[in-house]
Chains A and B, each alone.
Chain A
């Protein structure tokens, strides 16, 4: 055992850092660091910059245009990106549907979809949850009926993150009612511009529009958009969720947040002292530092495990989301009463008006509210505990 990074890994970190210093546009970095409202063009611009460098998909193997990095290198890359203030890349394409297409798709699908995900040309969203199928995902009802050379899809998906920007959606659809609910599910790729699809916004408790409902009314989908075999979609869905959960540990992001929180604590007045001198607050920071360190090492253990992430991925999802929520809660508590005011316009760059407290206070409460989603989505943390109980502990 050796917990140190190798000289090669250190050199790699240096290379990433240099690249970010030279290539991450200042306006994007500012926008991300100030936690202003994200923007589609910004995400696409950054994806293009990474793509041109050959770093468009940190987790992809070389044969599909990825850099072929080891899991440790991927983690270093993510961490450096987060610390530099790079926007999050879009997981739905890069880390969710792409691994499914690589593993279960046919050659034609790989050629058609993967390059456009890598370049950022296509914006994917996820069609999993339905109003009646949340934690119990297998109870989904959106139907796809085969008619000649296409499927006809009817139903409703919900919690579709950033679906308002998407031109593609990957969907779990019911193609059979035979056997167990899991046995009649298929995995379909659907062009969002197909007639019969309607996207409706859901306003979240922070007042923002990030999530949508997607309605399907007799939507015709060519049969070649089926991934793998009909009625085997549940296998692919679970495979995808495993990838999603590993990503949800979010260690790089949380390390950057921890740094930001420490900066805030160094700056934030607390009466006649600065907040970092408040031992009660500092203890909570220290506690989070400890938990984040434990998570980081656990992530490294899971990612370097030759057997790949199994049900242990649930540990990462639970701890990663709990730590993330605690970080945003602490940012809000750090700025204290300055977090009360709700000034949505101040989340735009170049906001000219007045605000309350430091710029860190502007997004603080909204972020805290929004991050409650972390323990709900991607399989609620209750479901993750069931997975650990059943598949790890054998209960």
Chain B
């Protein structure tokens, strides 16, 4: 056992945090969100220069050969600064899936451009009504000569509008009994319509409508009907990344709350002198530390090919992180009093991000259910 960072990881963390502290302040972030596309190009280019965008990719595709533990460090730092740029969708999910299951041609065409920051990816899998159920896919795949036609609607697709390629899941004739296949869809293919929205926490999500979208056999990712394991692994990696981001946001929220209660005077003394406040802060600290432990577990398992063990660890982490994020978020707002529910406080934005992280890729209840079902002997 060793929970220490390597010298390289420590340097990565230090330089990233320094960059974000200097270049990604509250007002800057607000401007980026207001600009509407959730992407500040100079910031993205700086990430590329730091090597972040290819950190986990193999060296032959312009990457640095890192793993999910490195993603943990990046996402934790992003969580502290509430970075809204499409790292999760492009680098963690998109590039991760292509690296795992893409053809050689797809990897060569796409991955170097991800590492260099030139192109973006989006994972279009979830569908309306699916809620947290990962295998709920009704998008239709129909054979059309040597090609395929896709019809369906995807929802909660992160950063779809800016993506050069969408990774789209579907089933033959949309039948639930048919296995899932994945296709790489170029964003300007005819029949792709994107309705994009800002989220409550300043990110970008979209509904993607696929109306007779033509793809070829070369666009498939992985073997026909064999995509569910690819989807699961990609999503598990995204969950591990979100857990890390939540930990960063919780740590930042605890720090800013601690500062606030030390300064805020009521009844002739700082709030921090009241025992009820001290115990609350202690519980918030405990919650964040427990979440951090589970985020580390998730990162250590995210690249594993042992499906059962990996999925169990990921669900345990997401459940506990979701619960902790809820507690820390709500209590931080409470301790800020009225200020905590205003738009001007960074704490309120950390709270919103933590709330929305819980709603993505399975909430705490859903993952508790996954762990619970796993306890059945038949599972």
Interface of A with B (CB < 8 Å)? 129, 132, 134-136, 139, 158-159, 202-207, 211, 268-272, 275, 280-281, 284, 332-333, 336-343, 354, 356-357, 365-366, 368-370, 372-373, 375-377, 380-382, 385
- Which of B132, B195, B334, B341 is within 8 Å of A336, CB to CB? B132
Q: Would you call A356 and B197 a contact (CB within 8 A)?
A: yes
Q: For the complex, what is the distance from the CA of A368 to the CA of B351, rounded to whole Å? A: 11
**Interface: B131 (CB within 8 A):** yes
Q: Would you call B133 and A205 a contact (CB within 8 A)?
A: no
The answer to whether residues A333 and B365 also contact, given A135-B266, A377-B338 and a CB cut-off of 8 A, is yes
- Which of A132, A159, A272, A339 is within 8 Å of B359, CB to CB? A339
Q: Would you call A205 and B341 a contact (CB within 8 A)?
A: yes
Q: For the complex, what is the distance from the CA of A342 to the CA of B197, rounded to whole Å? A: 7
Neighbouring A residues of B359 by C-beta, 8 Å? 332-333, 336-337, 339-340, 365
**Interface: B85 (CB within 8 A):** no
Using a CB-CB cutoff of 8 Å, which residues 120-166 of chain B contact chain A?
A: 126, 128-133, 135-136, 155-156
Neighbouring B residues of A380 by C-beta, 8 Å? 334, 337
- Which of A206, A271, A280, A342 is within 8 Å of B131, CB to CB? A271
Interface size for chain B: under 10, 10 to 19, 20 to 34, or 35 or more residues?
35 or more
Looking at the assembled complex, report how far the CB atom of A127 sits from the nearest CB atom of chain B, in whole angstroms: 14
Neighbouring B residues of A370 by C-beta, 8 Å? 341
Neighbouring A residues of B130 by C-beta, 8 Å? 269, 271
The answer to whether residues A336 and B200 also contact, given A370-B341, A372-B333, A380-B337 and a CB cut-off of 8 A, is no
Neighbouring B residues of A354 by C-beta, 8 Å? 195, 207
The answer to whether residues A336 and B197 also contact, given A204-B341, A275-B131 and a CB cut-off of 8 A, is no
Looking at the assembled complex, report how far the CB atom of B195 sits from the nearest CB atom of chain A, in whole angstroms: 6
Q: Would you call A203 and B131 a contact (CB within 8 A)?
A: no
Q: Would you call A366 and B200 a contact (CB within 8 A)?
A: yes
Neighbouring A residues of B136 by C-beta, 8 Å? 271-272
Q: Would you call A270 and B131 a contact (CB within 8 A)?
A: yes
- The chain B residue with its CB closest to the CB of A355 is B197
Q: Would you call B352 and A280 a contact (CB within 8 A)?
A: no
Q: For the complex, what is the distance from the CA of A336 to the CA of B358, rounded to whole Å? A: 9
Neighbouring B residues of A376 by C-beta, 8 Å? 333-334, 337-338, 340-341
Q: Can you sample 6 A-B contacts with CB below 8 Å?
A: A132-B265, A211-B338, A269-B128, A340-B156, A356-B155, A376-B337
Which of B292-300, B307-315, B342-350 is found at the contact surface with chain A?
B342-350
Using a CB-CB cutoff of 8 Å, which residues 184-230 of chain B contact chain A?
A: 195, 197-200, 203, 205, 207
Neighbouring A residues of B365 by C-beta, 8 Å? 280-281, 284, 333
**Interface: B360 (CB within 8 A):** yes
The answer to whether residues A382 and B129 also contact, given A336-B363, A337-B156 and a CB cut-off of 8 A, is no
Looking at the assembled complex, report how far the CB atom of A137 sits from the nearest CB atom of chain B, in whole angstroms: 9
Using a CB-CB cutoff of 8 Å, which residues 344-379 of chain B contact chain A?
A: 344-345, 348-349, 351-352, 355-356, 359-360, 363, 365, 368-369
Identify 5 new A-B residue pairs, CB closer than 8 A, beyond the known A340-B199, A340-B359, A372-B333: A204-B343, A205-B345, A272-B136, A280-B368, A356-B205
Interface of B with A (CB < 8 Å)? 126, 128-133, 135-136, 155-156, 176, 195, 197-200, 203, 205, 207, 265-268, 276-277, 330, 333-334, 337-338, 340-345, 348-349, 351-352, 355-356, 359-360, 363, 365, 368-369
Q: Would you call B133 and A270 a contact (CB within 8 A)?
A: yes
The answer to whether residues A333 and B342 also contact, given A136-B266, A139-B266 and a CB cut-off of 8 A, is no
Q: For the complex, what is the distance from the CA of A204 to the CA of B132, rounded to whole Å? A: 29
Neighbouring A residues of B349 by C-beta, 8 Å? 205
Looking at the assembled complex, report how far the CB atom of B35 sits from the nearest CB atom of chain A, in whole angstroms: 15
Neighbouring A residues of B199 by C-beta, 8 Å? 340-342
Q: For the complex, what is the distance from the CA of A269 to the CA of B369, rounded to whole Å? A: 17
Q: Would you call A342 and B342 a contact (CB within 8 A)?
A: no
- The chain B residue with its CB closest to the CB of A382 is B276
Neighbouring B residues of A338 by C-beta, 8 Å? 128, 155-156
Q: Would you call A203 and B343 a contact (CB within 8 A)?
A: yes
Looking at the assembled complex, report how far the CB atom of A276 sits from the nearest CB atom of chain B, in whole angstroms: 13
The answer to whether residues A336 and B343 also contact, given A341-B199, A365-B355 and a CB cut-off of 8 A, is no
Neighbouring A residues of B197 by C-beta, 8 Å? 340-343, 356
Neighbouring A residues of B277 by C-beta, 8 Å? 382
- The chain B residue with its CB closest to the CB of A138 is B267
Neighbouring B residues of A369 by C-beta, 8 Å? 200, 341, 348, 351-352, 355
- Which of A205, A271, A284, A340 is within 8 Å of B342, CB to CB? A205
Looking at the assembled complex, report how far the CB atom of B222 sits from the nearest CB atom of chain A, in whole angstroms: 23
Q: Would you call A203 and B200 a contact (CB within 8 A)?
A: no
- The chain A residue with its CB closest to the CB of B134 is A271
Neighbouring A residues of B368 by C-beta, 8 Å? 280
Q: Which of A343, A356, A357 has the most CB of B within 10 A?
A: A356
Looking at the assembled complex, report how far the CB atom of B139 sits from the nearest CB atom of chain A, in whole angstroms: 15
Q: For the complex, what is the distance from the CA of A190 to the CA of B368, rounded to whole Å? A: 54
- Which of B128, B337, B340, B369 is within 8 Å of A357, CB to CB? B128
Q: Would you call B205 and A340 a contact (CB within 8 A)?
A: yes
